[in-house]
């Protein structure tokens, strides 16, 4: 029987991110292949901690609606499940609710009827404290130190694996909107439920999770994976793009520390022995990955907390004497501002709670410590960022920082010096809240579904 | 003079989660890959020096099927935090590209 195909599952990944946009023709090609499931990710930590900290999605409701409408129509045409993960960028409960609301509106407008499954992944502080107290929160590589009070201050989500998605599929959900989810789990859930080879399943899921990011040239459109007993084929759907064994192999490198060992909640995908062969210009056949089940199940925890509020000032310098003087001038200015903060706020604002940060764009502002060559620019962009416990204080400090920074005293010049060019009036711009990531840990000793909550409704 | 950019069709840096910085050095072809690996230029000490960490914190992986060398290390500043300058870590590779590589 060797070589006989016993099983075939087709998985459509229409885009790398819901709301990022994709070509409708590429989607139509994917739908024409009659996939068994359509799945798509809607979030990431890569945009930074703001989405998780604030609950505000990165991409607009308008763009998400456009993509979602096409996917809901496509799903309806085929009668197959649509799975969307990490709704609202961060996968917070608020993000699931936002996408659910768009979904209800579209369903009403298009007269679509579905069983909707919403899977929530917010973690209450008390649950996290209990896990912490029993030693069941463990750091991942390079994670920051934590204490149990952290859970009160920040907002935490758990990242689900395939199991909560499988449960929703078993309940007959046509559309699943998941909170924070492993990108790969969205594509692996259905094959996992149908008993496909786990090594191939997870490798397939890893390959298509970003849509056609591994195509040549990379594209914002989709991929179709065809999973069989002993291999999977991955096919690009966008016109004018192709796949090569190398481009597919290289995708395991992307945003990933170790391309050969990729961790999931239930185990590790091992791609050490994987092989890649061309089928045609658009298709690559992949074999040989293995899935090594872990000793115990873990769910990753992601957290973000408020740091303060920011006001920014953008300026520029063209005078070479001023540029040369800045390295000495700025530390002097920072000491001056500390004294000024004490004066202006009558000692009610502690300068230690205020951060005034000058970045000299054109002179190593991007690379900071790792810039090997001191640069000698003719013009320098100056970004001044004031961070304070509240927006009003940040703004108040920024007003005198902007004023004083435009007249910093230069030893080489006599009289009132003009040191900075401001493009805007007023120069201060309130940026709002600043967040930071607090957790990159795992919860151990948990069942695959206990950290998640599923609600279903009929549309 | 041969530089890292001469060997590579793509050099990139990215986040691998909020606290890890990762680099991909994708070579032009098999010859370039073999030659680059043979120089030993991409080693843990180089990255430890440039990005303020220690060699034992660094993961260096050769990926012959992708014709790539991959290096991962602790992010110098937490992503998106008060003193991060590069939220997507998209420009952290730049100092490496023009470094001169001794021929073996």
Per-domain boundaries in chain A: 8-303+439-458, 319-420
pLDDT of A339 reads: 92
Per the prediction, chain B carries an average pLDDT of 93
Q: In what order do the strands lie in the sheet with A275-280?
A: A275-280, A283-287, A232-236, A223-227, A9-13, A37-43, A82-89, A175-178, A115-120, A453-458
What is the DSSP pairing of strand A37-43 with strand A137-139? Answer: unpaired
- Would you call A215 exposed, middle or buried from its count of C-beta atoms within 10 A (0-12, 13-18, 19+)? buried
pLDDT in tens, A326-384: 988 998 898 899 999 999 999 999 999 999 999 999 988 888 777 777 777 899 999 99
Determine the residue among A50, A250, A260 to mutate to test chain B binding: the one whose Cβ has the most chain B Cβ atoms within 10 Å: A250
pLDDT in tens, B15-50: 999 999 999 999 999 999 999 999 999 999 999 999
B15 and A365 in contact by Cβ < 8 A? no
B80 and A49 in contact by Cβ < 8 A? yes
Q: How many CB pairs under 8 A join A and B?
A: 127
Calculate how close chain B gets to A435, using CA atoms only, in Å.
7
Contacts of A405 (CB under 8 A, 6+ apart): A313, A315, A333, A382, A384, A419, A420
What is the DSSP pairing of strand A275-280 with strand A283-287? Answer: antiparallel
pLDDT of A4 reads: 55
A249 and B65 in contact by Cβ < 8 A? yes
Q: Which two tokens stand for residue A449?
A: 């579904």
Calculate how close chain B gets to A108, using CA atoms only, in Å.
38
Could you give the CA distance from residue B12 to residue B23 in angstroms, rounded to a whole number?
6
pLDDT of A50 reads: 95
pLDDT of A371 reads: 75
CA-nearest residue to A277 within chain B is: B65
Q: In what order do the strands lie in the sheet with A261-264?
A: A261-264, A267-270, A290-293
Q: Tell me the CA distances in angstroms from B31 to A270, B8, B37, B43, B68, one per residue in order.
A: 27, 11, 10, 19, 12
Could you give the CA distance from residue A318 to residue A307 in angstroms, rounded to a whole number?
33
pLDDT in tens, A140-155: 989 999 999 999 999 9
Q: Residue B42: its chain A contacts at CB < 8 A?
A: none
Task: Of A196, A123, A119, A108, give the one whose Cα is nearest residue A154.
Answer: A123
pLDDT of A1 reads: 45
Q: Residue B18: its chain A contacts at CB < 8 A?
A: 45, 49, 437, 440
DSSP A129: H
Interface membership of B3 toward A (CB under 8 Å):
no
- On the question of a cis peptide bond just before residue A217, with omega within 30 degrees of 0, the verdict is yes
Mean pLDDT, consecutive 10-residue segments, chain A of 459 residues? 71 94 94 97 91 95 97 97 97 98 98 98 97 96 92 96 98 98 97 96 95 86 95 94 94 90 95 96 97 96 96 95 90 91 94 94 83 81 96 97 91 87 95 96 97 97
Could you give the CA distance from residue A159 to residue A300 in angstroms, rounded to a whole number?
5
Contacts of A184 (CB under 8 A, 6+ apart): A202, A205, A206, A209, A262, A264, A269
Q: Which residues pair with A314 in a beta bridge?
A: A383
Q: In what order do the strands lie in the sheet with B68-74?
A: B8-15, B20-27, B68-74, B59-63
Of B19, B24, B87, the CB nearest to A142: B19
A436 and B26 in contact by Cβ < 8 A? no
Determine the residue among A16, A45, A46 to mutate to test chain B binding: the one whose Cβ has the most chain B Cβ atoms within 10 Å: A46
Residue with token string 């740091």: A307
CB of A305 within 8 A of CB of A443?
A: no
Q: Which residues pair with B23 in a beta bridge?
A: B13, B71
Could you give the CA distance from residue B20 to residue A141 in angstroms, rounded to a whole number?
8
Calculate how close chain B gets to A168, using CA atoms only, in Å.
28
CB atoms inside a 10 Å sphere around CB B46: 17
Which sequence spans correspond to the domains of chain B? 4-97
Could you give the CA distance from residue A443 to residue A455 in angstroms, rounded to a whole number?
23
């Amino acid at each position: 029987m060797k070589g006989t195909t016993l099983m075939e599952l087709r998985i459509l990944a229409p885009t790398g991110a819901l709301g990022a946009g994709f070509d409708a023709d590429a989607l139509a090609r994917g739908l024409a292949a009659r996939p068994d499931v359509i799945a798509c990710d809607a979030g990431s930590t890569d945009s930074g901690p703001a989405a998780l900290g604030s609950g505000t999605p990165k991409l607009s409701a308008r763009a998400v609606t456009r993509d979602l409408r096409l996917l809901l129509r496509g799903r309806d045409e085929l009668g197959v499940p649509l799975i969307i993960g990490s709704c609202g960028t961060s996968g917070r409960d608020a993000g699931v609710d936002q996408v659910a609301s768009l979904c209800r509106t579209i369903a009403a407008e298009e007269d679509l009827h579905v069983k909707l499954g919403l899977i929530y992944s917010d973690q209450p502080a008390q649950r996290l404290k209990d896990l912490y107290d029993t030693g069941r929160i463990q750091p991942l590589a390079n994670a920051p130190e934590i204490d149990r009070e952290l859970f009160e201050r920040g907002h935490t989500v758990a990242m689900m694996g395939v199991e909560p998605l499988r449960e929703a599929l078993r309940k007959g959900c046509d559309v699943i909107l998941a909170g924070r989810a492993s990108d790969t789990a969205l594509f692996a859930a259905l094959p996992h439920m149908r008993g496909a080879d786990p090594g191939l399943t997870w490798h397939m899921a890893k390959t298509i999770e970003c849509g056609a990011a591994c195509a040549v040239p990379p594209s914002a459109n989709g991929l179709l994976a065809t999973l069989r007993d002993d291999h999977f084929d991955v096919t690009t759907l966008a016109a004018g793009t192709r796949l090569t064994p190398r481009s597919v192999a290289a995708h395991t490198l992307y945003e990933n520390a170790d391309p050969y060992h990729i961790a999931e909640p239930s185990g590790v995908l091992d791609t050490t022995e994987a092989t890649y062969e061309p089928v045609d210009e658009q298709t690559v056949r992949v074999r040989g990955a293995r899935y090594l089940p872990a000793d115990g199940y873990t769910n990753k925890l992601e957290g973000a907390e408020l740091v303060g509020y920011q006001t920014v000032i953008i300026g520029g310098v063209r005078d070479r004497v001023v540029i040369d003087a800045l390295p000495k001038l700025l530390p002097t200015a920072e000491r001056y501002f500390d004294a000024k903060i004490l004066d202006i706020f009558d000692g009610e604002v502690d300068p230690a709670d205020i951060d005034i940060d000058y970045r000299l764009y054109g002179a190593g502002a991007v690379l900071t410590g790792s810039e090997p060559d001191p640069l000698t620019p003719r013009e320098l962009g100056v970004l001044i960022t004031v961070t304070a416990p509240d927006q009003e204080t940040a703004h108040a400090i920024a007003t005198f920082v902007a004023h004083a920074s435009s007249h910093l005293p230069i030893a080489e010049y006599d009289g009132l010096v003009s040191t900075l060019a401001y493009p805007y009036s007023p120069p201060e711009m309130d940026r709002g809240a600043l967040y930071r990531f607090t957790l990159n840990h795992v919860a151990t000793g948990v069942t695959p579904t206990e950290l998640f909550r599923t609600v279903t409704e009929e549309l | 003079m041969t530089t890292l950019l001469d060997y590579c069709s793509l050099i990139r840096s990215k986040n691998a989660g909020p606290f890890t910085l990762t680099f991909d050095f994708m070579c032009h072809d098999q010859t370039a890959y073999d030659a680059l690996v043979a120089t030993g230029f991409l080693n843990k000490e180089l990255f430890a020096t440039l990005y303020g960490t220690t060699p034992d914190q660094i993961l260096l992986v050769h990926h012959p099927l992708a014709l790539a060398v991959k290096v991962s290390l602790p992010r110098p500043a937490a992503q998106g935090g008060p003193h991060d300058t590069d939220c997507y870590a998209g420009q952290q590779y730049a100092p490496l590209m023009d470094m001169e590589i001794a021929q073996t």
